[in-house]
Amino acid sequence: MMIADIVEAASRASHPLDVVLVSADYEVRKLAEELGVGFLREEKERGFNEAAKKATSWCVDQGYQALAIVPADLPTITEKELDAAVRSCEWSPSVVISPAIGGRGTNLLLRRPPNAIETWYDMDSYRRHLAEAREKGVRYTLMYSVNTLVDVDTAADLLFSVRINDKTKTAEFAERSGAIERAKKLLGL
């Protein structure tokens, strides 16, 4: 459901955005087909950074001018954040970095060109992305939005994301499936 929310946001953006999912998982390939988006197959799952590298190489090979990396666990992102990121990244080279809550992770990374800086997920990525942009002299914009702060990794994250936007497919599924009640029970709420 989270991926469907991201794809829906991309489809409503005022700038045309091609969405491509990267995975070795056959179920993700089926989901890409169902959602009508592209799919890049990895030989085997090697983590987020390797998937981002594959997407970066593919975008460069295909002649794309920019690449936005949005983790699959960010169901509250909307077309407003995507549009703002694209508007903020009109110069080349430039990047838009949107930190996760706590300021350590990155929940949206837009790069023009696609390889303007490396991807550093799972390793204090926000600070590393920012440091590399500064070191390379790449224009950068820091984007703060409640809709891009919370990636869903824990029960508390799920509840917070539903509080941010209870109209997402993720929120509807979490309510229907009982995940919200289980999360509340787990957290003693």
Instruction: Tokens for 152, please give them.
Output: 């869903």
> What is the arithmetic mean of pLDDT over 145-163?
92
Question: Residue 88: what pLDDT?
Answer: 94
Distance, CA of 120 to CA of 123 (rounded, Å): 6
Confirm if 94 and 138 have CB atoms less than 8 A apart. Answer: yes
Question: Residue 179: what pLDDT?
Answer: 93
Question: Residue 58: what pLDDT?
Answer: 95
- Cα distances from 52 to residues 34, 47, 96, in angstroms, run 22, 9, 16
Domains of the chain, start order: 2-149 (3.90.550.10), 152-189 (no CATH)
Report the percent of the chain where pLDDT is more than 70.
Answer: 100
Nearest to 164 by CA among 179, 176, 181, 152: 152
- pLDDT above 90: residue 44: no
Distance, CA of 103 to CA of 133 (rounded, Å): 16
Q: In sequence order, what are the residues at sequence separation of 6 or more whose Cβ sits closer than 8 angstroms to the Cβ of residue 15?
A: 82, 83, 86
pLDDT band at 48 (very low <50, low <70, confident <90, very high): confident
Distance, CA of 121 to CA of 52 (rounded, Å): 9
Q: Which long-range contacts (CB under 8 A, 24 or more apart) does 58-65 make?
A: 58/20, 59/114, 60/113, 60/114, 60/115, 64/18, 64/114, 65/92, 65/112, 65/113, 65/114
pLDDT band at 123 (very low <50, low <70, confident <90, very high): confident
Distance, CA of 46 to CA of 51 (rounded, Å): 7
Question: Residue 103: what pLDDT?
Answer: 81
- pLDDT above 90: residue 177: yes
